[in-house]
Amino acid sequence: MRTRVNAWTPAPPTEADPDPHASAQHAAQVLAGRRTVVLTGAGISTPSGIPDYRSPGSPPRNPMTIDQFLSSADFRRRYWARNHLGWRHMDAAAPNPAHHAVTALQRAGTVSGVITQNVDMLHLKAGTQPVLDLHGSYGRVTCLSCGRTQSRHRLAQLLESANPGFADQVRSRGVIEVAPDADAALDDTTGFTMVDCADCGGILKPDIVYFGESVPRNVTRNAYAMVDDADAMLVAGSSLSVMSGLRFVRHAAQSGKAVVILNRGDTRGDRFATVKIDHRCEIVLPILVELSRTSTSPDSTALV
């Protein structure tokens, strides 16, 4: 279940590690010769313009829960009206150097796979394969009654037809704040018309795991298999405050695997870390790539 851990709060803004090269070198020494599974969170995507919930300086946000979404048509109308505006921003986002670095490490044979808590598809856009979308993807929509799936692009066309000019009218009022999970800040959604499943008339839901909703068992099983198949874990851009991600870090550590955590501020998984780096993913991950490329001897401390 994607639940928050109430006993922990994100760290306040901190000064980043003053020497990211030294930290990257330390991480390289730990990961050298080990097939590494990467677990990523929102912090890897903030440089691409996608806001997150918990990094230092992030404003407080209240994401919709699955109980709210299912409880009434008014909540669903609010969600789809806001999503109709916000998903475009996520769809237009491009991978940043951190995503490309993960792809480069994977192509070099260092990274065996990626488990992402993000729904933004930026790893896929960067060419990383395989990627396990732990919390789903903004690009798919499913019917809760018959299971029919469709692309978010197709639903956008249907919503636009049902709400002609809606996005332009909202934008004319001023700047729209984009929120995480393909959402947008919008208070008045009473005039928005929803679209139901074309096959059965059922409720449409984005293929995203809401807070309070369980990650599908097959996804969890595949994630554990990826961790078991690796020799080490690299966490990039996650505070690990959500148990659905923290459990894999705990599992890796309890299995005797090295764990490197790269994140701004403290994380709930720091006690499991072999190495903790307080810095930005888009700075440190490309350094790891360079270390792998400049390795010239078996005794090198680079990643491969």
Of 29, 204, 203, 45, the residue nearest 123 (C-alpha):
45
Question: What Rg do the C-alpha atoms of the chain give, in angstroms?
Answer: 20
Residue 269: its pLDDT value, please? 96
Helices (H) and strands (E) in the chain, counts: 10, 11
Distance (Å, whole) CA 166 – CA 177: 16
Stretches where the chain sits below pLDDT 70 are: 1-18, 53-62, 172-177, 179-181, 295-304
What tokens appear for 15 in the block? Answer: 């000064």
Of 180, 137, 213, the residue nearest 42 (C-alpha):
180
Give the whole-number percent of the chain exceeding pLDDT 70. 84
Of 162, 178, 148, 173, the residue nearest 52 (C-alpha):
178
Distance (Å, whole) CA 163 – CA 197: 17
Are 11 and 56 in contact by the 8 Å Cβ rule? The answer is: yes
Distance (Å, whole) CA 30 – CA 35: 11
Are 102 and 128 in contact by the 8 Å Cβ rule? The answer is: yes
Return the number of other C-beta atoms located less than 10 Å from residue 248's C-beta.
Answer: 24
Are 260 and 273 in contact by the 8 Å Cβ rule? The answer is: yes
* Alpha-carbon torsion, ordered 30, 36, 39, 44, to 10 deg: 70
Residue 172: its pLDDT value, please? 67
Residue 166: its pLDDT value, please? 84
Catalytic residue among 100, 123, 135, 279: 135
Sequence spans of domains, the chain: 1-7+15-50+95-135+215-304, 57-92+138-208
* Catalytic residue check, 135: yes
Residue 17: its pLDDT value, please? 57
> Which residues, 6 or more positions from 112, have their beta carbon under 8 angstroms from its beta carbon?
35, 36, 37, 106, 226, 229, 230
DSSP output for 90-155: HHH----HHHHHHHHHHHTTSEEEEEE---S-HHHHTT--SEEETTEEEEEEEETTT--EEEHHHH
What tokens appear for 201 in the block? Answer: 């008339």
1-7+15-50+95-135+215-304 folds as Rossmann fold (3.40.50)
Residue 61: its pLDDT value, please? 61
Are 226 and 115 in contact by the 8 Å Cβ rule? The answer is: yes
Are 242 and 134 in contact by the 8 Å Cβ rule? The answer is: no
